[in-house]
Structure 1
Amino acid sequence: MNAPHHFPTTSQRYDLQRLLDGAVADGVAPAVSCAVVVGTAETGRRELPVLTSGAAATATLFDLASITKLFTTVTALILVDSGVLELDAPIGRKLPAYATGPKSQLTLRHLLTHTSGLPSEWRGWDAALAEGRGFERTNLVTDLLATELEAAPGTRFAYSCAGFNTIMALAEHVTGTPWEQLVRERLLYQLPTDGITGTPRIEHCAPTEFQPQLGRGLVRGIVHDEAAWSLGGLSGNAGMFATADGLRIFGLSLLDGLPGILSPALAAEMWRCQLPDILGSNFNPTDPGFGHGLGLRINQQPWMGTLGTEARGHGGFTGTSLLVDRESSVVIALLSNRVNPSRDGDDATGLRKAVSDVVLSAAAQLTQDLTHERNTL
């Protein structure tokens, strides 16, 4: 870097803008936005001004898709901190649908680490449409909770949206409070931003997919994920919307251990890889990206980048990602609507990796320059 106390350099900002513009020009997504932080509170943090390309402004809200699972995780852990939920007690003690049979051994930790044994998807919404029943939320949640396990809890890792919607149902059952209200009051109100919401205004949102086959037309300001849509919007697996800067602020809170939101012990559990302890001999440490904290994915190659082996975060089907790396003191919030007008195009993995590589390389150089400066004083 040309100056150790300046991030980004003109060249680095140009590189990132070029990547965003190239993604729009190549048809990866019609709208892209990116917000970056590099540096620690001790050395000073450098925030990159929000970059946009295509049909995006700095105030554009994007459907975060599965990044929502991080908000679900923190909300659930807030309930653990307050004594409403327990991390390692069988959820069947509070949720009747899980009180007997193989499900009776399933815990919140299993759900948060995708080791519950539940299938990847719950498709009760599809059956409701096919049978012309429409969406009646109480019936849909009952159907969700009747989902059978595919494996015994704690014996496999298999990514499960159904599991995170089960967390939502559990939290609603024990608190008697609608999920959107729980997330808003317990978590969002604690974050210093209005750039994250589960109830966006349509005119502020980037559109996602054109779905006439589902009677939805062009989806905008309504969650793209069909399961979350059927459940009324913001759900355990999807439904949060954010600006790039709003997501960056949440990422900074994660980087700092969620101060004022979670106890240090639970914040540390989010960060720690859980799978060796849970899976035992079924854990395969040689599988790239085979790591998971509570809610946080670890070393998700290739999108977290060549230098992102210690990174945490989450991606979203709509073309979104949040990367948080304590080793490099980096937050990258990258948002796109790559599913507009169809999900069949580029999945934005290349864009996400390229942005990660540029930022993490710059962070490594910044650290090297600052270390050299300290050693020569």
Structure 2
Amino acid sequence: MNPLRSTIETLLQAAVADGVTPSAVCAVALDNEVLVPVVVGDAVRYGADGTELPVESRIKATVETQYDLASVTKIFTTLTALSLVDEGLLQLSEPLGRHLPQYRSAAKGRVTLRHLLTHTSGLPALWEGWREALETGRGFDREALIGDLLELELLHEPGKHFEYSCAGFNTVMALCELITGKAWAELVQERVLDQLSAAQLSGAPVLEQCAATEYQPELGRGMIRGIVHDEAAWALSGGTASSLSGNAGMFGDASSLLSLGEALRTGLASILSPELAEEMWRPQVSTEVISSSGIDFGHGLGLRIAQRSWVGDHPQARGHNGFTGTSLLVDKSIGLSVVLLTNRVHPRRELSDVQALRRAISDACYQHSARSNTISEEAYGTQL
């Protein structure tokens, strides 16, 4: 067995045995070699009533299991928006008010698409208009909810503070829909997914192929499976199985998400122009804003840069993680893409944290790369 794959399998088995997550799948591409994905654990371990199932009734995870990617979805949102920039339908640094009436006054008049994609718009982290709609029994009227989202007031001056904002990425979605007159799922499909040829990436997955996430009887959802876990995305989809939103809602298996990682690593040739693909990778947030905001990582367009808490001390690493326990790491400098998919929120979000597992997987991949390079150099030297 490949030594890296053996190490990853040991790490995943320990995580499942220790109750960090019911299941985990990891896929890696290194120096154009794709490892067979490692799969451990149960895609469904708890039943419709939230109780643990007998071993014989559980559903094992497989390489085909689709996971709720949560905020990894933001990469797809970024690519969709940037494809409109490439066509001249949007500009990164123009005020949103050119298109959105709600962004034509006071500080909101200075918010740009670049601010939204780097979490420096000044918007709050969350939009919770869905909660009032649910509690009052009005139901999820998408047009009304989008209107409520766009009325959010800023917490900070645009460009002056980093505030990780799901609300900002749903605003990107609303902007793109308005510009094109097309539904969000259609835009993402034609501009990103069709170019990747990854059929297992979807905002409307087949329930039976999905790993379960959280048990939410308090929201009338029961055990969530095949429907987005994120409540805002759920509401903005009208509470239906077609759940893709700007901040969350993409589902996929490990190999399909790895195809996105490899596309990012090699320049996104079929999706973006070379100039815009490189701009996506480039640091966008000043050191002053990073320092004053209390974060220890950089940010490109839709990509986190060298976030040590889960990628380790690797300054060229780019990627994104997701609340449900997912992540995508890409490093051009060593030809590396790493996908980790878990359903750590099954059956409750409070039960575990997968940051240590993410970092251990990352470190294992970097260490293997370093060893492989050393062996190659020694072999080459011997041949000389």
Conserved in 2, the CA contact under 8 Å of 1:61 and 1:204? yes
2:242 is aligned with 1:237: no
What is aligned with 1:118?
123
Change (3 A) 1:125 1:258: same
What is aligned with 1:181?
186
Q: Secondary structure at the match of 2:341?
A: strand
Distance 1:274 1:51 in 2: 34
Q: Secondary structure at the match of 1:324?
A: strand
2:269 is aligned with 1:282: no
What is aligned with 1:370?
376
User: Match of 1:373, as an amino acid?
Assistant: A
Distance 2:141 2:81 in 1: 24
What is aligned with 2:195?
190
What is aligned with 1:152?
157
What is aligned with 2:25?
33
User: Match of 2:266, as an amino acid?
Assistant: D
Distance 2:280 2:96 in 1: 19
Change (3 A) 1:213 1:11: same
Q: Secondary structure at the match of 1:165?
A: helix
Cα displacement string for residues 235-264 of structure 1 (whole angstroms, at most 9, x for unaligned residues): 000000010000101000000011121011
* 1:90-169 equivalent positions in 2, closer than 5 A: 90-169=95-174
Conserved in 1, the CA contact under 8 Å of 2:16 and 2:24? yes
2:315 is aligned with 1:309: yes
Distance 2:156 2:41 in 1: 44
Q: 1:12 Cα deviation (Å)? A: 2.4
Q: Secondary structure at the match of 1:66?
A: helix
Conserved in 2, the CA contact under 8 Å of 1:38 and 1:363? yes
* 1:331-342 equivalent positions in 2, closer than 5 A: 331-342=337-348
| TM-score (normalised: structure 2) | 0.91
What is aligned with 1:213?
218
User: Match of 1:367, as an amino acid?
Assistant: N
Unaligned runs of at least 5 residues, structure 1: 1-8, 40-44
Distance 2:295 2:132 in 1: 36
Stretches of 4+ aligned residues off by more than 4 angstroms: 285-288
- Aligned partner of 2:352 among 334, 346, 353: 346
What is aligned with 2:38?
51
User: Match of 1:182, as an amino acid?
Assistant: L
User: Match of 2:318, as an amino acid?
Assistant: R
Cα displacement string for residues 174-209 of structure 1 (whole angstroms, at most 9, x for unaligned residues): 111010110001110000321211110101100000
Q: 1:148 Cα deviation (Å)? A: 0.2
Change (3 A) 1:110 1:346: same
- Aligned partner of 1:321 among 295, 309, 327: 327
Q: Secondary structure at the match of 1:138?
A: helix
Distance 1:195 1:78 in 2: 22
Cα displacement string for residues 106-135 of structure 1 (whole angstroms, at most 9, x for unaligned residues): 100000000000000000001111222111
What is aligned with 2:281?
271
| TM-score (normalised: structure 1) | 0.93
Q: Secondary structure at the match of 2:268?
A: coil
Distance 1:281 1:314 in 2: 22
Q: 1:290 Cα deviation (Å)? A: 2.2
Distance 1:365 1:326 in 2: 18
Distance 2:84 2:381 in 1: 46
Q: 1:285 Cα deviation (Å)? A: 9.5
What is aligned with 1:251?
261
User: Match of 1:302, as an amino acid?
Assistant: S
What is aligned with 1:261?
271
Distance 2:296 2:29 in 1: 23
Conserved in 2, the CA contact under 8 Å of 1:289 and 1:298? no
Q: Secondary structure at the match of 1:197?
A: coil
Q: Secondary structure at the match of 2:333?
A: coil
2:81 is aligned with 1:76: yes
Conserved in 1, the CA contact under 8 Å of 2:162 and 2:293? no
Distance 1:215 1:268 in 2: 44
Q: 1:21 Cα deviation (Å)? A: 1.1
Distance 1:372 1:298 in 2: 32
Conserved in 1, the CA contact under 8 Å of 2:161 and 2:293? no
2:233 is aligned with 1:228: yes
Q: 1:375 Cα deviation (Å)? A: 4.3
Change (3 A) 1:26 1:321: same
Q: 1:19 Cα deviation (Å)? A: 0.9
Conserved in 2, the CA contact under 8 Å of 1:288 and 1:300? no
2:303 is aligned with 1:296: yes
Q: Secondary structure at the match of 2:39?
A: strand
Unaligned runs of at least 5 residues, structure 2: 43-60, 238-242
Cα displacement string for residues 35-80 of structure 1 (whole angstroms, at most 9, x for unaligned residues): 00111xxxxx211101100121000000000000000000000010
Distance 2:293 2:376 in 1: 34
User: Match of 2:137, as an amino acid?
Assistant: G
Change (3 A) 1:101 1:253: same
Distance 1:326 1:209 in 2: 35
Change (3 A) 1:283 1:14: closer
